[in-house]
Amino acid sequence: MKKLLLSLILIVPLLFSGCSSTQKLMDKYTGNMSLKTGGQEYKLYASNFYIKDGKTYVVASNGDRTITISFKGTTPGVYPLGMATNLQDIAALASKGLGGILDADNALMHVPTEAYKSTYLSLTGNLVITEYTSGKIVGTFSGVGINKDLLSVQGILNILINNSMDFSGSFSAVKL
């Protein structure tokens, strides 16, 4: 009986403390990321980062999908996402070949695990890093992107205008 009473004394406060403290604890050790695009919202409860050659990679995965944000930098600040500041400039660059869109230095990529052709890429946008320490990065992002399988050099501006989707989200990532 004493063990039951002691267990209740220890567990009940946790139940009434709400999800916010549990979420904060999870964020501290596992990070998280959310992404809204195309009328869908995705929440991934494990987000890590690593640095390679002055470039930061923030990666979140839940087995069903992976979201990666890469940017040249290792400090708080505002970074562009994609390869240009508007769709017309992207169309002009893409008319010379689609490699630029796929190889942007600063980019967001959302890959559903079983549908690689449905990979979503940022075309233009902003990444705001509000905290960058040796163990944690926190930021938000927004912009316009497109599913990779819709890209084609023919009529690229019309494809971009008619098929691009806004995106936004946030993350808290812990170092691998």
| pLDDT, tens digit (0-9, with 9 covering 90-100), for 103-121 | 788 999 999 877 666 788 8
**Residue at 55 is within a domain:** yes
Looking at residue 8, its amino acid is L
Higher pLDDT, 158 or 42: 42
Contact call for residues 103 and 82 (beta carbons, < 8 A): no
The answer to whether 147 touches 101, Cβ cutoff 8 Å, is no
Is the pLDDT confidence value at 59 over 80? Answer: yes
SS3 content of the chain, % helix, strand, coil (to 5): 30, 45, 25
Indicate if the pLDDT at residue 2 is higher than 50.
no
Rounded to whole angstroms, how far apart are CA atoms 151 and 24? 39
Residue 117 has φ and ψ, to the nearest 5°, of -65, -20
How many structural domains comprise the chain?
Answer: 1
Q: Is residue 37 part of a domain?
A: no
Give 174's strand partners. Answer: 48, 136
pTM for this prediction? 0.77
Band of pLDDT at residue 3, cut at 50, 70 and 90: very low
**pLDDT at residue 117, as a whole number:** 60
* Angstrom distance (rounded) from CA 35 to CA 77: 20
pLDDT of residue 101: 65
* The pLDDT of residue 149 is above 90: no
* Assigned domain for 39 exists: no
Which domain, by its residues, includes 52?
46-175
Structure tokens at 154: 């023919």
